[in-house]
């Protein structure tokens, strides 16, 4: 695993799997292919039904990650994002990904 992949952190693994980006505001250097491989392995290994992304502190999402979020639904897993920034929420709205991905805000 490269140092870039360490941007993705697994907070909980199981039927509900929770991942995040460790408070990185900008996800420069995120290897989307490695990220996808790690997420697919988590989903399969833990019979994951729901995959939650903690976006607390993330200001922008790379376009490749947006595509990855959408494609994860092909694994028959519910995809949720928590605490997206105003800009991320706007992108999810404009791309209609907010129709495929549940969006939640929680107090931190």
Q: Are 56 and 20 in contact (CB under 8 A)?
A: yes
Query: Tell me: the pLDDT tens digits for 15-73?
Result: 999 999 887 777 777 889 999 999 999 999 999 999 999 999 999 888 899 999 999 98
Structure letter (DSSP) for residue 60:
B
pLDDT score recorded for residue 60: 87
* Intra-chain end-to-end CA distance of the chain, in Å: 30
Q: Predicted confidence band at 7 (pLDDT cuts at 50, 70, 90)?
A: confident
pLDDT score recorded for residue 1: 38
pLDDT score recorded for residue 44: 95
Total-model pTM? 0.89
pLDDT score recorded for residue 19: 96
Angle (deg, nearest 10), helices 63-71 and 32-45: 20
The residue ranges of every structural domain in the chain are 3-104
Q: Are 15 and 43 in contact (CB under 8 A)?
A: no
What CATH class does 3-104 carry? Answer: alpha beta
């Amino acid at each position: 695993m490269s140092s870039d992949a360490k941007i993705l952190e697994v907070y909980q693994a199981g039927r509900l799997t929770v991942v995040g980006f460790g408070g990185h505001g900008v996800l420069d250097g995120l290897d989307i292919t490695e990220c996808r491989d790690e997420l697919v392995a988590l989903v399969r290994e833990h019979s994951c039904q729901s995959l939650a992304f903690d976006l607390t502190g993330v200001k922008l999402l790379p376009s490749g990650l947006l595509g990855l979020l959408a494609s994860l639904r092909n694994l028959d897993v519910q995809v949720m994002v928590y605490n997206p920034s105003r800009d991320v929420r706007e992108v999810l709205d404009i791309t209609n990904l907010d129709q495929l991905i549940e969006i939640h805000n929680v107090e931190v």
